[in-house]
């Protein structure tokens, strides 16, 4: 690159006024870049605040529909749904995932009945909200998560959600080969139009704790998830995971968690010409809320700056519990 030298070049010139900063701004953030994760609970007219996620609640199906309408009004294009499964509906084999009348399916159907294509619905495919042991798949007698046997159940779960009206199937389980198996099943069942957003680079992170409270799996997990979720030390492996999932038919990919893995977001964006999403996970949300509550930073500024960082790193969009608040800030 060729540049003039100071004082002919003064980089502060374009920062002098707001209009000039806006004119040369390299990265844009809008509500269209946001996906809002929501937690579904049993009942009617119900809101259940989640203590470890201040400001986030579980909502019954009728209330989820109202949240979906809020999202449409704010310009958010897509919701991501996660169920709170009561203990008596959990089992070692996660059979509730295949129930066509489970919370996830009822919520999907209710949103699509109310709003149609005014908003997209992304559904999580993994067994941890449904298993009594808290793992994302089936386990053997030693507690090891079985890959191929789990994939067979995930295929059934994905088809169950597709029949309910899901727009995007999002496998978060990190089993090998599940994207190809789900894609083939969707095509065979006449759901070729349904997208797959793969959690392609999902790390075995310490930032997931509040999420496990939200879906009711904290305290149930036996062992850890390090045999299938990625080692936080690995970056090149993430590119291999992404490549495999794209080869198998994923339409977009996700990196999870978010801010601690912006290097992975940037590397995936640089190496693959596909939409890349990042999940600003529950622990990240909780840290921002705690910092704001302690007076360590302005909440609105922290929210918008972190979301902008995802976009700057190359993310097409961000799953964030701050999505509705951020969307309203951006359009105020």
Q: HSE of 38 in the Cβ direction (CA atoms, 13 Å)?
A: 33
Whether the predicted pLDDT of 157 surpasses 80:
yes
Cis before 257? omega within 30: yes
Q: What is the pLDDT of residue 4?
A: 92
**Spatial distance between the Cα atoms of 23 and 26, rounded to a whole number of angstroms:** 9
> What mean pLDDT comes out for the span 113-134?
97
> What mean pLDDT comes out for the span 100-109?
98
Contact present, 127 and 157 (Cβ < 8 Å): yes
DSSP state of 202: E
Q: What is the pLDDT of residues 275-295, one digit of tens each?
A: 999 999 999 999 999 999 999
> What mean pLDDT comes out for the span 108-113?
98
Whether the predicted pLDDT of 272 surpasses 90:
yes
> What mean pLDDT comes out for the span 110-129?
98
**Spatial distance between the Cα atoms of 224 and 11, rounded to a whole number of angstroms:** 50
Q: What is the pLDDT of residue 218?
A: 78
Helix (H) or strand (E) holding 50, with range, is none
**Spatial distance between the Cα atoms of 183 and 191, rounded to a whole number of angstroms:** 9
Domain covering 29-331 assigned CATH 3.20.20.70 in the classification: yes
> Of the ranges 67-81, 219-233, 239-253, which one carries the lowest mean pLDDT score?
219-233
Whether the predicted pLDDT of 79 surpasses 80:
yes
Helix (H) or strand (E) holding 200, with range, is strand 195-202
Q: What is the pLDDT of residues 186-233, one digit of tens each?
A: 999 999 999 999 999 999 999 999 998 898 887 788 889 999 999 999
SS3 188: helix
DSSP state of 131: B
Ligand-binding site membership of 241 (annotated): yes
Average pLDDT, the chain: 96
> What mean pLDDT comes out for the span 167-193?
98
Residues of the chain with pLDDT > 90, as a percent, come to 95
Contact present, 319 and 279 (Cβ < 8 Å): yes
**pLDDT-based confidence at residue 68 (cuts at 50, 70, 90):** very high
- What token pair was written down for 258? 């978010």
Show which residues are catalytic: 202, 256
280 torsion bin: left (phi>0), alpha (psi -120 to 50), beta (else):
beta
């Amino acid at each position: 690159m060729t540049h003039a030298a100071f004082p002919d070049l003064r980089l502060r010139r374009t920062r002098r006024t707001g209009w000039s900063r806006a004119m040369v701004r390299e990265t844009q953030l809008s509500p269209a870049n946001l996906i809002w994760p929501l937690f579904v609970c049993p009942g009617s007219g119900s809101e259940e605040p989640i203590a470890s996620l201040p400001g986030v609640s579980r909502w019954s199906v009728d209330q989820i529909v109202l949240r979906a309408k809020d999202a449409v009004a704010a310009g958010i294009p897509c919701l991501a749904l996660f169920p709170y499964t009561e203990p008596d509906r959990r089992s070692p084999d996660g059979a509730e995932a295949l129930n066509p009348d489970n919370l996830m399916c009822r919520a999907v159907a209710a949103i699509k009945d109310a709003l149609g294509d005014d908003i997209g619905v992304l559904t999580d495919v993994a067994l941890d909200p449904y298993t009594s042991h808290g793992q994302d798949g089936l386990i053997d007698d030693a507690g090891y998560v079985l890959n191929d046997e789990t994939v067979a159940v995930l295929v059934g779960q994905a088809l169950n959600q597709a029949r309910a009206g899901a727009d995007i199937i999002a496998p978060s389980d990190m089993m090998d080969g599940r994207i190809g198996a789900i894609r083939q099943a969707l095509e065979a069942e006449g759901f070729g139009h349904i997208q797959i957003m793969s959690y392609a680079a999902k790390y075995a992170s310490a930032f997931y704790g509040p999420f496990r409270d939200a879906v009711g799996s904290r305290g149930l997990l036996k062992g850890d998830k390090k045999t299938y979720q990625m080692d936080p030390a690995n970056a090149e492996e993430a590119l291999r995971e992404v490549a495999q999932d794209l080869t198998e038919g994923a339409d977009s990919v996700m990196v999870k968690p978010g801010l601690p893995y912006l290097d992975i977001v940037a590397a995936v964006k640089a190496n693959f010409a596909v939409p890349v999403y990042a999940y600003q996970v529950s622990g990240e949300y909780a840290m921002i809320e705690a910092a704001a509550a302690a007076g360590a930073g302005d909440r609105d500024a922290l929210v918008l700056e972190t979301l902008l960082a995802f976009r700057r790193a190359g993310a097409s969009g961000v799953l964030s519990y701050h999505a509705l608040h951020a969307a309203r800030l951006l359009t105020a």
